[in-house]
Amino acid sequence: EAISNFANRLAALTPGFAGADIANICNEAAIVAARRRADYIEMQDFDKAVDRVVGGMEKTRTGGSSLINKKELEIISHHEAGHAIAGWFLEHADPLLKVTIVPRSNGALGFAQYLPREMHLRSMPQIMDVVCMALAGRAAEQVFFGTENITTGASDDLRKVTAMIYQTIQIYGMNERIGQLAFPKDDAGGGFGEEKKYSDATAQAMDEEAKRIVDEAYARTVRLIEERKEEVQKVAQLLLEKETIHHDDVLGLVGERPFEKDPAYQQYVSSRKSSEEDGCEDNSSRDDEKKEEEMTEGSGAGLVPGLV
């Protein structure tokens, strides 16, 4: 396979990574290829290496069974399926590459990879699509299991949503009530922390606007999950069966995204299928990989901070 093809697809998998991170992924890919006794590194090896760096090593019991009980797996699968389907049907959300419910050594119970678009500017509708996709995991839990049974699984999503909304209000001047004003965080120095440049009344208005915007986004997300409930259920069931699914799996379940494809995204997914077909591993190489992961898990060898 051409080096340029590897480079393009690896670039799509590693947005924001430094050169040292890319080198670490290449080293990990070589280790993965060696475990399956391959003569050379293939794209499937890079995929597994990125998973390790982004999400940490897989955590399973001896014999390959999950550490998570069946009920929690069901909740996690619907949570991740909610993210996947919301991103699939929101125009400005980043396209899905992969979603997994395999627990990781960094504490993540599941994660999804998306292909960020090369954008330097975002409008409010574009930001709100990203916000809705982040809220879709919690919305799926509510729709499928009831409000009283929502879990702590959305904590990181809510943190990201809160940060994005307050930035639109405090930094980008994108809120009509607050107006064309910017209040970037400013450390006063001397250990006294941040100095506010606005009144308590303005602070209250910011809080009220942030809550209103998030509440409206969440209501929109719940409606989307209810409208696409059948698709979410299909993806969740496939996740329970396979634990890790890719773009082509979702494509087969729900059809094409109803939006124009980004060129980088199209280039990645068009070559994905051929890579997956060449990615069959035998049982002995899987056992060798599990043994080595168990030996190295305590030391954290080969891991760098990821983008979970």
Mean pLDDT over each residue of the chain, to the nearest integer = 81
Indicate if the pLDDT at residue 119 is higher than 80. Answer: no
d(CA 73, CA 243): 10
Catalytic residue among 42, 80, 141, 231: 80
| pLDDT above 90: percentage of residues in the chain | 47
Q: Which long-range contacts (CB under 8 A, 24 or more apart) does 276-282 make?
A: 276/44, 276/246, 276/248, 278/42, 278/43, 278/44, 279/42, 279/43, 279/44, 279/47, 281/36, 282/36
Q: Which of 197, 206, 199 lies closest to 179 in space, CA to CA?
A: 206
Indicate if the pLDDT at residue 236 is higher than 50. Answer: yes
Indicate if the pLDDT at residue 291 is higher than 90. Answer: no
Predicted local confidence at residue 298, as pLDDT: 43
Q: Which residues pair with 96 in a beta bridge?
A: 114
pLDDT band at 17 (very low <50, low <70, confident <90, very high): confident
Q: Which of 2-6, 88-92, 135-139, 247-251: highest mean pLDDT?
A: 135-139
The yes-or-no answer on residue 80 being catalytic is yes
